[in-house]
Structure 1
């Protein structure tokens, strides 16, 4: 079986996790603090805050911006449902707008029509690792005085050209960027997430809220020669990352440049192998973007049945996934939030297939995927 994805985990990660276990400190501690410093330095952000996953990162971002009941947050429906859920769980209303049919990222040209006096934020998703048009999005957000949150769940290691300089996603472009370290992502800690920002006040809020609103972290209390009584200043959460996860994350971060380079080579080879297939549209990378190729998404012509093509590939031992879901088609979001034309989002879900891609994918595996897909499309 050729899997849809495969994390790169080796002895270095196992040794790091073992060392964290044997240190006696396994909850949020020195490894988490080191991972935060190293991740912030890698992306070029002044501040980073590690959390339990990207969903909790998105919720902390919204909470820190005081977004709550009655507020509206503009975002893409064409995203994993966690994006919409983070808004709904705040009591706020997700307002879905359509995506660019070329990149499957939120279309900046559709945001103005979606804004109302209740609009309090924009969440832009770097879908499948492909950077959004951040220059257009930040310009619009700044003009309206609305914070931009980047759902960068898939985008660790991706880059964008800003004023003739290549910058990594996570460097502050909007107010906050949120990352995932789920096993389907380019680097993983099993579960885990990270927030980056240039705002010291927001970073303090994240770190207060993730640990029950505790005034003095337990790392400080345990290291103090004096007795310290903590206070609980706000109603917070338990959204902490463990030191074992962070120890693995630090080793994964060291691998990230190589992992991205290898995935970009796999994506380029796919483009060579599939570029002349009639009835298949390949993913588009804008000249101002460098994707980490967390996913490789192809689009079928209307004459092909998505499920049948996927089943045929599965029967031949090749795992695929359908195009990214649309939250507005799921029962919790099927009514009130759908106020805009979402045809490109729906077509992206219905006509697209994610092919296997991972850093250690071999030429033989890629040839097999291409040959099986070619044979299936030839059947018409």
Structure 2
């Protein structure tokens, strides 16, 4: 048997050719390809501005900075998310306040957000966990009357939709990831998108050390203008090499999502009648790209989550434990909020292999392992 990985990025000769062209151009740092990727991504996501960054984490950090979140503010976040979601408020000196999530989608809800809001709350970070779109309108109905900034962490969301539009289009500001485990990858890299022109302009400056003249502007001049560093900035730039890959990947996004949804449909039908397994699915308000295909292992199943992972591993199938609970990690253990759904999902979910190149036989092998304990029980 050959190992079935939990994911594999889909990269081909088009990406190789795109990177080669950049290498031959002599301009490999942030430059014209990055600018083109930003324009094309903003158009695709139906927003006015997109700002490329070195990662989704740095995009989240910049989002909070340009939105004016500072020390002593509080930001409501899900604990049921990669730790970067909680780290971003910490970077600006704010306090992340953990809210629980919906037991079906794994996302924040209007009710869990409202329960976590306090007098010092200035923003909410809503995550499209695993690509499942968060119900943003319901959350905005809670946040907008209170003047709270709604940041969407769409790290996993490229290609998912919410009420007929791309996810992220309805937030005040959105952060994206292009890590290799994401549906659209640039190797590493991220993006910030918003309809606030002033926020986008400041983010462009801050990502480049807050220089008054960008590197592209300076290199375009024979006599480079003197630069002024207008505030304390950051080195959060994307390279043209990464953006060249991103442009190819963006062209493929619709095709990739279609394939992932086909694979997800096969999984869903295959385990629908297996007692004790509940699979992630589209919510009523949108469609998922199934960046992660996660399954909850219920008490009725013959094995617990870790037992099922061990059985998959014995068949040379690589699964992953479900989404982490950030409030269990050392930097955040002091948080005392009751998060029963988060803790249950963290302890009972696992992520199954799903990638564009997955063959019918590979998926059948995974399904066979999932159904085997039921037959032998």
Taking structure 2 as the reference length, what is the TM-score of the superposition? Answer: 0.97
Q: Specify which of 80, 90, 93 is matched with residue 91 of structure 1.
A: 93
Tell me which residue corresponds to 2:336. Answer: 338
**Residue matched to 2:26:** 24
How many Å separate the matches in 1 of 2:263 and 2:193?
A: 29
Aligned-partner Cα distance in 2 for 1:187–1:37: 16
SS at match of 2:51: strand
Partner of 1:178, secondary structure, is strand
* Partner secondary structure for residue 295 of structure 2: strand
Of 277, 290, 299, which residue of structure 2 is paired with 1:293? 290
Looking at structure 2, the residues matched to 83 and 290 of structure 1 have their Cα atoms a distance apart, in angstroms, of: 22
User: Residue 312 of structure 1 contacts residue 376 of structure 1 at CA under 8 Å; is this kept in 2?
Assistant: no
Question: What pairs up with 1:191-340 in 2 under 5 angstroms?
Answer: 191-224=188-221, 227-302=224-299, 304-335=303-334, 337-339=335-337
Does the aligned pair in 2 maintain the 1:148–1:174 contact within 8 Å? yes
Structure 1 Cα separation of the partners of residues 135 and 262 of structure 2: 23
Using the alignment, how far apart are the partners of 1:221 and 1:332 within structure 2? 41
Partner Cα distance (2:105, 2:127) in 1: 11
Query: How far 1:305 sits from its partner (Å)?
Result: 1.9
Maintained 8 Å contact 1:279/1:377: no
Q: In 1, distance between residues paired with 2:16 and 2:54?
A: 20
Q: Equivalent residue for 2:167?
A: 169
Matched residue SS, 1:281 = strand
SS in 2 for 1:324: coil
Q: 1:287: Cα distance to partner?
A: 2.1
* Long gaps (5+) in structure 1: none
Q: Is the 8 A contact 1:302 1:351 kept in 2?
A: no
Cα distance in structure 2, aligned partners of 1:317 and 1:227: 57
Aligned: 1:180 with 2:177: yes
2:346 aligns to what? Answer: 349
Cα shift at 1:321: 0.6
SS class of match (1:215): coil
Deviation at 1:170, TM superposition (A): 2.8
* Counterpart contact for 2:172–2:195, Cα < 8 Å: yes
Paired with 2:95 and 2:336, the residues of 1 have a C-alpha distance of 11
Alignment of structure 1 residues 28-177 onto 2, 5 Å? 28-161=30-163, 166-171=164-169, 173-177=170-174
Task: Indicate the SS of the match to 1:120.
Answer: strand
Q: CA RMSD in A?
A: 1.1
CA distance in 2, matches of 1:21, 1:144: 49
Q: Could you report, residue by residue, the CA deviation over 1:168-194 in whole angstroms, capped at 9, with x for unpaired residues?
A: 0132x1210100000000011110000
User: Does structure 2 conserve the Cα–Cα contact (< 8 Å) formed by 1:125 and 1:132?
Assistant: yes
Distance (Å, rounded) in 2 between the aligned partners of 1:221 and 1:120: 37
SS in structure 2 of the partner of residue 361 of structure 1? coil
Q: Distance in 2 between matches of 1:378 and 1:345?
A: 30
CA distance in 2, matches of 1:38, 1:57: 18
Per-residue deviation, 1:9 = 0.2
Distance 2:223 2:238 in 1: 27
Partner of 1:5: 7
What does the per-residue CA deviation read over 1:233-263, in whole Å, with 9 as the maximum and x for residues that have no partner?
Answer: 1100000000000000000000000000000
1:343 Cα deviation (Å)? 0.5
TM-score normalized with structure 1 length = 0.96
| Structure 2 Cα separation of the partners of residues 2 and 159 of structure 1 | 28
Q: CA deviation at 1:49?
A: 0.2
Q: Deviations over 1:3-40 (max 9, x none)?
A: 00010000000111111111111110000000000000
